Structure 1
Amino acid sequence: MNKVEIYDPAMCCSTGVCGPGVDPELLRVSAILNVLEGEGKKILRYGLSEDPMAFVASKTVNDLILNEGVEVLPVTIVDGEVKRKKGYPSNTELATWAGLSEEELVKLVAKAQTATIIKND
């Protein structure tokens, strides 16, 4: 994997993990993406509300939206190829694309969460 791009639907903020009703799926994806970035993986995330020009600039995403509507979001593109539409990638998919086993990814996420808890004490 050289690059993962996630095109999010319109949300209240760049990650969608704000406000009183946080979607656990968004928390899961955000945590994993942060860990993968920390491991040196190139992760780009675009929000329709925050960065609409990224959606226009990507012919692939623009065509998907024109043909299938905004319901096609989120869209995940890995190394230029659409890998997922209408939902976020699974832990297994993210691990595979990053060249990790799912177990390795889970350990990295747990380690990062433990480090965050320790920092906040």
Structure 2
Amino acid sequence: MLNKAQKRQQIDLGLAKIKKSRCLVFLDFSGVTMEEVKKLKTGLRKAGATFQVIKKRLLKLAMKEAGFDFDPLQFDLQVGTIFVPEDLTSVAAAIYKSWKEISKTKKNFKI
């Protein structure tokens, strides 16, 4: 369990990434192996984006501080966030490639 300082650090990290991003993409990564997550992160990094898992409650607070009325608690499962600093088209191929690869083993993988 995170203490208050660690939670604040997570909120600040999320807030900084939100402010630098032009687009956010949410994905359900439950059931995805660490190897697949590493491949996803590598592909996104090459395309200029980052993938970060932040607790939904803390992400909600970061979104609120950034001025967005969005509640990630609406998602029932685990949620990871892809922070895209450029236009979404700059990372669409990397996202699609990862989705296609992961969907081979996890049929209900959602982005």
Give the structure-1-normalised TM-score.
0.33
**Structure with larger RCO (C-alpha < 8 A, sep 6+):** 2
**Structure index of larger Rg:** 1
Normalised to the residue count of structure 2, the TM-score between the two structures is 0.35
